[in-house]
């Protein structure tokens, strides 16, 4: 910004990682600006009237996009094939990838008015996509094509923005630490299934693990860059990540969070920044439990299925340290319908099939999380593998003590994810003090949320 009456100075030279992080945030902002232009006047049902019946008596082709690993891809394709058996005129094209870069690809296709007909999103993108008019208001189909009576009202409400239903939860899950018991059982350091009473107790345990392995495996991954873990910790301290369209925390809170992880790194409990960094983008294949670099890492309970396939070690789920109020039952992902699609009604019918059909539920299992439909969940639970039953039991135990589900994240949340990664890496690699990194993160978060809502 040029200030009238002042000489414009040459911009400072930033470290490479900070330049990269800033470019990612600016690129996301620019893409969303294009998205807003492309979606202007969105929220309609494409070529159909909102609430219209699905059209499957003539050929219909729908595109479906999601992120996830090979197990999710296999299950999703099987459900689409099952739908086609009773709807032979409907065909699908699919695209899937890891979480990193997923929204960039969706935003780019939306800017070209060519977004997938069915889009998997999480709650961090919901408000933004709804406000931009990218995804269709599903209210006209609710109670007709879209059956919602067997979904817990609180869980169903997580798909609403301003009382309009934009997304149907595909599953629910809750927060956990995935812990490698193959490493810690011989050491006599298996934690209780209820976890640790405090973060200090957790730090002591993790340092003991690192020492017992001779430093070959760290007790825990450095999770300072993980916005979901930060949110959990804030809730334990009586705060939320957002207060409407403003941060729900202070710069002092952010400093305390970065200090917590600096202390864990210094004690040897947590991995150094260079070990943690490859997994900061959320790629499960780079998870440090899967790569056997740490014993514990942040996870969602449904991810145990994918993690277990990535390692030959035995894993367990343990709640995050401290008060149980930090946890909450959350929609693991949603399916949404592109507002500009040519056959939104059929897309809605497919979404309904994923959520409410018992055969589909049996195929999907708990890879995305627990089925949102209570009847489907009860019907398929007996057929679950021991691993899936274990995930379901963990989820029930934790969510029975969990706090309330927070409101839909603020518009611009996707940018905050990257801002925390940049701040945590700056502190972790020693480029900035924790207080300076936190202050910059808080300032940038405040500005990004203001811009996102303007």
How many whole angstroms separate alpha carbon 450 and alpha carbon 445?
Answer: 9
| Contact between 329 and 111 (Cβ < 8 Å) | no
Where helices occur in 70-149 by DSSP H, the ranges are: 70-86, 102-111, 123-131
How many whole angstroms separate alpha carbon 249 and alpha carbon 255?
Answer: 11
Please indicate, yes or no, whether residues 226 and 338 belong to a single structural domain of this protein: no
- pLDDT value for 11: 33
**Does 270 reside within a domain?**
yes
- pLDDT value for 206: 98
pTM: 0.79
Please indicate, yes or no, whether residues 372 and 428 belong to a single structural domain of this protein: no
Please indicate, yes or no, whether residues 74 and 167 belong to a single structural domain of this protein: yes
pLDDT in tens, the chain (454 residues): 222 332 222 333 344 444 444 444 444 444 444 444 444 434 444 556 889 999 878 899 999 999 998 999 999 999 999 999 999 999 999 999 988 889 999 999 999 999 999 999 999 899 999 999 999 999 999 999 999 999 988 889 999 999 999 999 999 999 999 999 999 999 999 999 999 999 999 999 999 999 999 999 999 999 999 999 999 999 999 999 999 999 999 999 999 999 999 999 999 999 999 999 999 988 888 999 999 999 999 999 999 988 999 999 999 999 999 999 999 989 989 999 999 999 999 999 999 999 999 999 999 988 898 899 989 998 888 988 899 899 999 999 999 999 988 989 999 998 999 999 999 999 999 999 999 999 999 999 999 999 998 7
**Does 12 reside within a domain?**
no
Write out the residue range of the structural domain in which residue 296 sits: 175-327+412-453
Closest CA to 254 of 268, 233, 280: 233
Please indicate, yes or no, whether residues 217 and 282 belong to a single structural domain of this protein: yes
Please indicate, yes or no, whether residues 237 and 270 belong to a single structural domain of this protein: yes
Please indicate, yes or no, whether residues 128 and 186 belong to a single structural domain of this protein: no
**Does 311 reside within a domain?**
yes
Please indicate, yes or no, whether residues 227 and 112 belong to a single structural domain of this protein: no
**Does 359 reside within a domain?**
yes
- The total number of structural domains in the chain stands at 2
**Does 22 reside within a domain?**
no
| Contact between 225 and 421 (Cβ < 8 Å) | yes
Please indicate, yes or no, whether residues 443 and 307 belong to a single structural domain of this protein: yes
Please indicate, yes or no, whether residues 282 and 260 belong to a single structural domain of this protein: yes
Please indicate, yes or no, whether residues 187 and 128 belong to a single structural domain of this protein: no
**Does 9 reside within a domain?**
no
- pLDDT value for 34: 43
Please indicate, yes or no, whether residues 230 and 112 belong to a single structural domain of this protein: no
Please indicate, yes or no, whether residues 237 and 123 belong to a single structural domain of this protein: no
Give 63's strand partners: 93
Which of 395, 421, 443 is where one domain is finished?
395
How many whole angstroms separate alpha carbon 369 and alpha carbon 377?
Answer: 11
User: CATH number for the domain including 79?
Assistant: 3.40.190.10
**Does 11 reside within a domain?**
no
- pLDDT value for 49: 85
Which of 346, 368, 395 is where one domain is finished?
395
Which of 347, 370, 395 is where one domain is finished?
395
**Does 1 reside within a domain?**
no
Q: Are strands 90-97 and 60-67 parallel, antiparallel or unpaired?
A: parallel
């Amino acid at each position: 910004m040029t200030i009238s009456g002042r000489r414009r100075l040459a911009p400072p030279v930033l470290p490479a990682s900070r330049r990269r992080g800033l470019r990612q945030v600016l690129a996301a902002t620019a893409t969303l600006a294009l998205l807003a232009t492309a979606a202007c006047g969105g929220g309609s049902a494409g070529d159909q009237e909102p609430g219209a019946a699905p059209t499957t008596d003539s050929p219909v082709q729908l595109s479906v996009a999601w992120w996830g690993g090979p197990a999710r891809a296999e299950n999703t394709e099987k459900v689409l094939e099952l739908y086609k058996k009773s709807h032979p005129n409907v065909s699908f094209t699919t695209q899937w990838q890891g979480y990193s870069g997923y929204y960039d690809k969706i935003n780019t296709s939306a800017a070209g008015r060519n977004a997938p007909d069915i889009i998997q999103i999480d709650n961090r993108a919901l408000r933004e996509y709804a406000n931009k008019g990218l995804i269709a208001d599903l209210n006209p189909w609710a109670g007709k094509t879209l059956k919602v009576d067997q979904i817990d009202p609180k869980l169903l409400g997580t798909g609403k923005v301003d009382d309009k239903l934009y997304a149907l939860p595909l599953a629910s899950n809750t927060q956990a630490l995935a812990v490698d018991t193959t490493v810690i059982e011989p050491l006599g350091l298996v934690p209780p299934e209820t976890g640790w009473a405090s973060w200090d107790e957790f730090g002591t345990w993790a340092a003991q693990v690192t020492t017992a392995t001779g430093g070959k495996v760290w007790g825990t991954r450095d999770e300072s860059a993980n916005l979901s873990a930060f949110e959990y910790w804030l809730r334990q301290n009586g705060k939320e990540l957002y207060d409407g369209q403003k941060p729900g925390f202070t710069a002092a809170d952010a400093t305390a969070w970065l200090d917590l992880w600096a202390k864990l790194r210094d004690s040897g409990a947590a991995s150094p920044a260079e070990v943690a960094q490859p997994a900061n983008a959320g790629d499960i294949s780079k998870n440090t439990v899967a790569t056997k670099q740490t014993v514990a890492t942040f996870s969602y309970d449904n991810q145990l299925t994918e993690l277990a396939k990535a390692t030959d070690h035995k894993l367990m789920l343990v709640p995050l340290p401290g008060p149980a109020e930090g946890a909450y039952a959350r929609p693991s992902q949603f399916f949404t319908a592109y507002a500009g699609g040519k056959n939104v009604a059929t897309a809605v019918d497919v979404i309904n099939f994923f959520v409410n059909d018992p055969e589909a539920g049996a195929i999907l299992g708990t890879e995305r999380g627990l089925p949102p439909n209570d009847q489907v969940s009860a019907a398929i639970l007996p057929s679950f593998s021991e691993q899936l039953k274990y995930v379901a039991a963990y989820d029930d135990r934790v969510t029975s003590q969990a706090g309330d589900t927070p409101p839909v994240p603020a518009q611009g949340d996707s940018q905050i994810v990257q801002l925390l990664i940049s701040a945590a890496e700056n502190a972790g690699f020693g480029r900035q003090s924790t207080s300076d990194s936190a202050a910059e993160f808080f300032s940038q978060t405040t500005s990004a949320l203001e811009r996102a809502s303007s």
